[in-house]
Amino acid sequence: MSIYSEQDAKAILDKVIKLSKADECTATLSGSVDGNIRYALNAVSTSGIVSDAELGVQVAFGKRVGTATINEFDDKSLEKVVRRAEELAKLAPENPEFVPAIGKQTYAKSKTWFEKTAAITPEYRASVAADSIGPSKAAKCVAAGFLSDSARFSAIANSNGNFAYQTSTNVDFTCTVRTEDGTGSGWVARNLADIEQFNAKDEIKVAVQKATASRDAKALEPGKYTVIMEPAASAGLISFMMFGFDARQADEGRSFLSKKGGGNKLGEKMFDERVTIYADPVDPVAAVLPWDNEGQARERTPVITKGKVEYMQYSRYWAKLKEKKASGQPGNLIMVGGDKSTMDLVKSTKKGILVTRTWYIRMVDPQTVLLTGLTRDGTFYIENGEIKYPIKNFRFNESPVIMLNNIEEIGKPVRVGDDESPFVMMIPPLKIRDFTFTSLSDAV
């Protein structure tokens, strides 16, 4: 069992801080139980459970920093890890960008733990596989999916008296359903903290429906189209754009938020005025830990408000240099929307394309955040408010900055997980005009 109680975690961290003879000491203790099941070709391929815990200790003598980690927590091991960090610090060159450990913080309480998720059993995982495979087989389709769940605790402490402890749970589910003849493919994904909000039987219907409905796709000419992006389709693009919000990178002139002549575009209007994105660790649907990787308290932070850039990410070093206030880095991104569903957006579309999912997104030009990638697992042509027929997949070359300037309509945000993103996201379905598709793909 590697989920320590607050009391046990604090006892270990207190010992570590006390053992250190350095000028300052920061320690983090975390542990998790991760379970998963993987299936393909309508059969379970692998499943497993991994349990692990780790203590990280960072100490500083002046501006010399040393870090060490260990996964044993008896007194001898604690002494060993502290001494090793101290030895490494003494050997390290001075870090000119050293910033002292954070002071005592006040953290919000976010609801990140759900008992039912932590209690997921191997039998439950097997039932999710069975609930995916059964309906797929019945529809002459082939399911390949992955369910992973985790229960975790995180605790931090430092020699300035800061301490925090919190537990969290997470579930990621993805399933790709292909027709037996390989001419249609559908997909469904869910990311949640509370497994009670999940029903594999309901979810799989979406993937099966998309697989069968996407058979015999027609080819459309590449070009600029009005698109309805399902939340999962635009999440990857929006998340990618956040790399450009680093203040140092922007001030150094290497971000789309760099200003001609120097400085950054904090405070400038860069997006359609309907675009509002914020971070909030206590959001009831997308709650995250109330501290960032450096232990700084996360607060509700406006990132983009009515199209205006309201937030740049200042590291503590860069904030000090630029005389700005350093704040906790966001763990989630919440885009404000309305009440409409994806299908409501389809209904109000005269001509357009419905995109289920985007895939293999990569940066082409960081100057404009030009990204390329492909549609996948359900792309459909819309005419007069109705899905008319499936179409072949497209490659896109588009910038999320341009995309968020070409907004026609915004729907209701839903929680989205993305395996290439560090954020938990709430993203609405979006209707976008002039989205740029540059070539066709034969891939199903």
* Touching other proteins, residues 180-209 (CB under 8 A): 182
Part in contact with other proteins (CB under 8 A); list of ranges 9-17, 32-40, 106-114, 299-307: 32-40
Q: How many CA atoms lie within 13 A of 441 on its CB side?
A: 17
Nearer to other proteins among residue 45 and residue 199 (C-beta): 45
| Residue of the chain from 48, 62, 100, 223 that contacts other proteins (CB under 8 A) | 48
How many chain residues touch other proteins (CB under 8 A)? Answer: 86
Which DSSP string do the residues of 273-312 spell out, in sequence order?
Answer: TT--EEE-TT-SSS---SB-TT-PBP--EEEEETTEE---
CA distance 225 to 310: 30
| Residue of the chain from 115, 181, 253, 300 that contacts other proteins (CB under 8 A) | 253
When asked if residue 152 is in the footprint of other proteins (CB under 8 A), the reply is no
Report in angstroms how near the CB of residue 384 gets to other proteins at its nearest.
Answer: 30
The enclosing H or E element of 174 equals strand 163-179
When asked if residue 166 is in the footprint of other proteins (CB under 8 A), the reply is no
Residues 84-113 that bind other proteins (CB under 8 A): 84, 87-88, 92-93, 95-97
Residue 279 bridge partners (DSSP): 301
- CA proximity to 403, closest of 380, 433, 428, 376: 433
When asked if residue 178 is in the footprint of other proteins (CB under 8 A), the reply is yes
CA distance 101 to 78: 20
When asked if residue 366 is in the footprint of other proteins (CB under 8 A), the reply is yes
When asked if residue 67 is in the footprint of other proteins (CB under 8 A), the reply is yes
When asked if residue 121 is in the footprint of other proteins (CB under 8 A), the reply is no
Residues 225-244 that bind other proteins (CB under 8 A): 243
Nearer to other proteins among residue 293 and residue 341 (C-beta): 293
Residues 379-408 that bind other proteins (CB under 8 A): 393, 395, 397, 399, 401-402, 405
Nearer to other proteins among residue 161 and residue 182 (C-beta): 182
Residues 6 or more apart whose CB falls under 8 angstroms from that of 96 comprise 63
| Residue of the chain from 2, 36, 212, 327 that contacts other proteins (CB under 8 A) | 36
When asked if residue 176 is in the footprint of other proteins (CB under 8 A), the reply is yes
Strands (E) located in 356-444: 358-365, 370-375, 379-383, 386-390, 394-398, 407-410, 414-416, 424-427, 430-440
CA distance 82 to 84: 5
Nearer to other proteins among residue 141 and residue 346 (C-beta): 141
- CA proximity to 425, closest of 270, 278, 244, 294: 278
